[in-house]
Structure 1
Amino acid sequence: MLPPAQRLPETRKLIEMDRYFVLQGPCQTGKTTALETMAAELTAEGDVAALMFSCERARSAGDDVGRAEQLLLDSLREAADLSSWPEELLPPGPRPEAPAGARFSSALSEWCLRSPRRVVLFLDKVDALQGNSMVSILSQLRHGHNTRHMGRPFPASMVLCGLGNRTIAMGGAPEGSDAIVPFNVVAESLRLGDFTADEIAELYGQHTEATGQEFTKEAVERVFELTQGQPWLVNALACEVITKMRVSGSITGDHVEEAKERLIRARATHLDALAARLREPRVERVIAPIMAGTWPHTDTAFDDDVSYVHDLGLIRSTRDLKIANPIYREVLFRILGDRAERFVRADPHSFVLPDGRFDLPRLLEEFVVFWREHGEVLIRQDGYHEAACQIILMAFLHRLVNGGGQLDREYAAGTKRLDVLVRWPYTGPDGDRLVQREAMELKVWRAGENDPMPDGLAQLDRYLDRLTLRAGVLVIFDRRPEAPPWKERGGFEQAATPSGRQVTVLRV
């Protein structure tokens, strides 16, 4: 692991200044590990009793404030017992006589009164608290913070850790509630972000130092490209290569690519948790326009949804509406395209030409047949209607290409397109290992809009230029009410980009 102080350099100073602050970050970025390590290091120095405990158990209490307080105090004492502290540092065992709604803060005050050291508290997963319990606990902490200057014993510094700080900032109350008392005692809101390329190299270097097994420069660069530093993915790829694939020599970019495919196919726990989120309405409202390349209708509610999806780690930032990394980009389409992929009956092997290359023209012809037969039904499936065309074609491509090749997808809100690169490895006549590359661009012709073909040719031109390719495919989905009947869709024509590159245009 990377040292917490390196990833969170501001934390130590804030604790030394007796500040209360928030630490946020998406799931599986190392927040809990960082807090545990930081608490142990602070306590070992001898001046502070720093303890990390989880609020997860109190989730089941819901609005029952008394029950939530009891569960939090049980978790607090258990964490202290497991830390092997001397008796004088432990929180008091008997619960102080206090009514529900003041019991948690009273227990903290009694502990701080007895402790020979300054108490620093790390509340992990604080956003697991629900409803009135969240409001009550945050109110107690706010009151305890504000009365310290009056001589009331209370933790000198406190870190509230969770996915995001919006609920904490609102005092735990739902938006629009009259009960909102802002939790305005936090000095900072820190975010535990993704690894940099150098940090990935440092992390993998620890493995090399311990075992002698090297990650090549190409492998490290490919990991950063695929994950953009998402900590769980960075570790999962390495674990897959080392413990599951059992690679014994140097680890290369090809090993990383295989590990990525294995993780996605296995639908690892972290990826499965993201899949469950995709069906949440507020997640769909953000992700669907990104996949479709359209601009969402922005309002206050949408801004809140964007913040939520960013807190989950699905998008890069609240301003740049792009999926966080290429692995997530691929996972989203695979998950949402599962149903459509089950309708694909063509044999993937039948698209391999005698010379080993992939027969893309035939694939497009087969897609026309598939679209005429199943498109009308699939496009009406529940959810993600805005991106339905793109999801269906991606499912078709995935079923027929991913057995021997790979698909790279690029999409973002406002681009009005989805770019796809098919990479197909094959052996040349001289025995050389070659890679066939085929670029496609997907556009949707929506009601009230002009034919997107001119814009599509210009956009595809730039994509082909970046890939140094001389030809490509433009697929235009017609979603206008006046579109031709389904059985008549699927016309091909030849066109040229502004710079003269040849393009096969498919209208469906």
Structure 2
Amino acid sequence: MQKFFNTAGPCVPEKHYMTVLDFNNIKKLIENERYFILHAPRQTGKTTMMLQLMEHLNQEGKYIALYVNIEVGQAWRNNIAKLNQTIINEFRIQAKVYLPSEYQPSSACFENVGDEFATFVTQWCLELTKPLVVFMDEVDALIGDGLISVLRQLRAGYTRHPRAFPHAMCLIGLRDIRDYRIYSDSSKRYIIGGSAFNIKEKSIFLNNFTYEQVKELYAQHIEATGQNFTHHAIQQIFELTQGQPWLVNALGRELCFDDYAIAWNKTISKEDVNNAAEILIKRRDVHLDQLADKLTEPRVETIIQSILIGEETDNTNINEDKQYLIDLGLIRSGKQGLEIANPIYREIIPRELTAYRQDMLAQDPLWYVKPDGKLDIQKVLEAYIKFYKENSELVTKRKTYNEAAHHLLFMAWLQRIVNGGGYITREYAAGLKRLDLCIDFAGERFAFELKLSSKNALNDGKTQLVDYLRRLSLDSGWLIIFNRNGIENWDAVGKREWIEEQAKKIELICL
């Protein structure tokens, strides 16, 4: 069959384009009888890697390897007996699927296990003629005392390995176990994952694809179909995704296989890649929908809001929250501070936060388009100032992301209008003290600098906007300073003034 770019479930070498997997480091840990962690954001290839490694080890014949996903146990939360029985059943099913009959657990393994799956594992290991290697996935999907029980059973069983417990074990999840904060209903306190599972040898973080791996992946399609990509197209795929595996594959699927794919006899350009990315953003597939759903969590809001407005947060849990978002794959530590993990996520987040407002704005994009098809940016700004004066409660009464309310309302307005024939790109990061925004519409570009009021907002804003205009090769732009302290003089709201700074024309707007 024709291979394709996979975006649903684990990849299979016979069906999907895949990068070459390197098992060497993990195999060394297995040979040394280690228990270790593999963690990475969702849909980055963890399950694919472990299934392939399981098959590889079983073919080598030195070990008996089994992959087990225990996410289904989440439903039992603090019902330890039910959770343990569920995990045992998952071992039974997976062994039937992946192992020959002589290595499957006998009926005796399931007898007298009590409330501990670890007893079953011990009895099975004593039966086996080869060392057992277990890859246990979605461990951090478990909750409360159920998760604590699983970790403590593994810790207790470790003293019996390798003779009567797995020779080696890998726990797979979104986060390193040191970052687990588990609330125990029985103890009425939080327990740190590392204290419940202090036998970890090493934590391995599964990185995104490198640029070379992206080239390798797409080269497989080029070789199989003859379809070509320009050099700039491949570069843009990496730039937009930063190697996030699901996004890399989703762009490939959109460009080469979906309903509006480019014909295989035509070369794919950078513009084609940008168009495909816009389709993904607007359609909001499952992966992107799950990403957007996280934005409602308070600890996520704290960090994302600070990035949107460009200011560092003084939250006491900043390090813990930051690591949580990094583990989710939402953010990364960049050169200018915390930033969104990649340009596609960078567009998804403000659009998701403003989607409701966009739908509520009774604006016909055609009102703002000139007869020649160009965007009437002055009309857009005049209408927004009037709208804001009449609807300022949309900022002052916002219940979430209230510090970024000005930014989000203005972006909602622009997105509603620009959707009619252009697109917006944004640059923002914690510590920048601004949000840069550029509208591309009918061959023209309009650059904006958005800032919250402060003592140095005007001087800093002019310097920052000049730098942005130079990078975009533009001669003029707009500096919008939002009043963060409440409005006392409505006559000053919407005041507009053209100024010149370092040979660049800047229109200052105070809102």
Fold in common (TM above 0.5): yes
Taking the aligned partners of 1:185 and 1:166, their CA distance within structure 2 comes to 11
In 1, distance between residues paired with 2:334 and 2:87? 33
Partner of 1:247: 262
- Mapped partners of 1:164, 1:242: distance in 2: 33
Aligned to 2:76: 61
**Could you tell me how far apart the structure 2 residues matched to 1:455 and 1:179 are?**
43
The alignment-based identity, stated in percent, is 38
Select 1:356's aligned residue among 348, 351, 373.
373
- Name which of 415, 422, 437 aligns with 2:432: 415
2:191 & 2:367 partners in 1: Cα distance? 64
- Please state if 1:439 is matched with 2:450: no
Distance 1:168 1:353, change over 3 A: closer
Q: Paired residue for 1:164? A: 175
Partner of 1:256: 273
**Which of residues 313, 327, 342 is equivalent to 2:344?**
327
Say which SS state the counterpart of residue 22 (structure 1) adopts: strand
Kindly state the Cα deviation for residue 290 of structure 1 after the two structures are TM-superposed.
0.9
1:153 aligned residue: 164
Change in Cα spacing, 1:144 to 1:318, as seen in structure 2 (3 Å) is farther
Deviation at 1:357, TM superposition (A): 2.7
Q: Does 2:337 match 1:309?
A: no
Partner of 1:50: 65
Retained in 1: the 8 A contact 2:492–2:510?
no
Instruction: Give the aligned partner of residue 87 of structure 2.
Output: 72
Q: Is the 8 A contact 2:182 2:190 kept in 1?
A: no
Q: Deviations over 1:166-219 (max 9, x none)?
A: 467678869953697341211111111211111111111111222222232222
- Partners of 2:480 and 2:201 in 1: how far apart? 52
After superposition, the CA RMSD in angstroms is 2.2
Query: Could you tell me whether the CA contact under 8 Å between 2:78 and 2:145 is conserved in 1?
Result: yes
Q: 1:212-269 CA distances to partner (integer Å, 9 max, x unpaired)?
A: 2223222211111111111111111111222221311222222222211211221211
1:361: Cα distance to partner?
Answer: 1.8
Find the aligned partners of 1:13 and 1:172 in 2 and give their Cα distance.
Answer: 34
Matching residue of 2:507? 504
> Structure 1 residue 393: deviation in Å?
0.8
Q: What's 1:428 paired with?
A: none
Contact 1:444 1:476 in 2 (8 A): yes
| 1:230 partnered with 2:239 | no
Measure the CA separation in 2 of the matches of 1:36 and 1:314: 26
Aligned positions, number: 487
**Residues 177 and 345 (structure 1), Cα distance of their counterparts in 2 relative to 1, 3 Å cut:** closer
Match for residue 357 of structure 2? 340
Name the aligned partner's letter for residue 343 of structure 1. Answer: M
Give yes or no for contact 1:171–1:182 (8 Å, CA) kept in 2. Answer: no
Counterpart in the other structure of 1:31: 46
- Tell me the amino acid that sits aligned with residue 21 of structure 2: A
Letter in 2 for 1:370: F
Number of the residue aligned with 1:473: 478
| Structure 2 equivalent of residue 450 of structure 1 | 455
Identify the residue that residue 462 of structure 1 maps to in structure 2. 467
8 Å CA contact 2:182–2:191 kept in 1: the answer is no
- Matched to 2:353, the amino acid is L
Between 180-189 and 313-322, the greater mean CA deviation after superposition: 313-322
1:177 match: secondary structure: strand
Distance 1:444 1:206 in 2: 48
Residue 229 of structure 2 is aligned to residue 211 of structure 1: no
Distance 1:383 1:125, change over 3 A: same
Q: Deviations over 1:349-392 (max 9, x none)?
A: 23233443322222111111121122323442220001111111
Q: Which amino acid aligns with 2:499?
A: A
Instruction: Give the Cα–Cα distance (whole angstroms) in 2 for the partners of residues 125 and 294 of structure 1.
Output: 34
**Which amino acid in the other structure matches residue 244 of structure 2?**
Q
Q: State the distance in 1 between where 2:506 and 2:360 align.
A: 28
Contact 2:148 2:196 in 1 (8 A): no
| Structure-2 residue corresponding to 1:5 | 21
| Aligned counterparts, 1:45-124, within 5 A | 45-83=60-98, 85-94=99-108, 95-100=110-115, 103-124=116-137
- The residue matched to 1:316 in structure 2 has which SS? strand
Residue type of the alignment partner of 1:465: R
> How far apart in 1 are the matches of 2:183 and 2:36?
15
Per-residue CA distance 1:443-475 (angstroms, 9 max, x = gap): 111xxx315111100111111122222111101
TM-score, with normalisation over the residues of structure 2?
A: 0.90
What do residues 332-353 of structure 1 show as CA deviations (whole Å, max 9, x unaligned)?
1111102221233232123233
Shift of the alpha carbon at 1:20?
A: 0.8
In 1, distance between residues paired with 2:182 and 2:447? Answer: 50
Counterpart of 1:11 in structure 2: which amino acid?
I
Equivalent AA in structure 2 for residue 439 of structure 1: A
In 1, the alpha carbon distance for the partners of 2:90 and 2:330 equals 30
Aligned letter for 1:218? H
Superposed CA offset, 1:486-507 (max 9, x none): x75211101122x221101111
Counterpart AA for 1:303: N
Separation in structure 2 between the aligned mates of residue 221 and residue 294 of structure 1, nearest angstrom: 31
1:390 corresponds in structure 2 to 407
TM-score, structure 1 normalization: 0.91
Question: Do the aligned partners of residues 56 and 182 (structure 1) sit closer, same or farther apart at CA in structure 2, a change above 3 Å counting?
Answer: closer
CA distance in structure 1 between the aligned counterparts of 2:190 and 2:479, rounded to whole angstroms: 50
SS at structure 1 position matched to 2:357: helix
* Contact preservation (8 Å) 1:77, 1:93: no
2: distance between equivalents of 1:4 and 1:182?
35
User: CA distance change for structure 1 residues 64 and 330 in 2, over 3 Å: closer, same or farther?
Assistant: same
- Output the CA distance in 2 between the equivalents of 1:477 and 1:35: 50
Q: Is the 8 A contact 1:134 1:172 kept in 2?
A: no
3-state SS, counterpart of residue 190 of structure 2:
coil
Looking at structure 2, the residues matched to 3 and 242 of structure 1 have their Cα atoms a distance apart, in angstroms, of 18
For 1:219 and 1:51, the matched residues in 2 are separated by: 40
Question: For residue 281 of structure 1, what is the aligned residue in structure 2?
Answer: 298
Deviations 1:111-160 (A, max 9, x none): 111112211100011111211111111111111213337xx411111000
Aligned counterpart, 1:137: 150
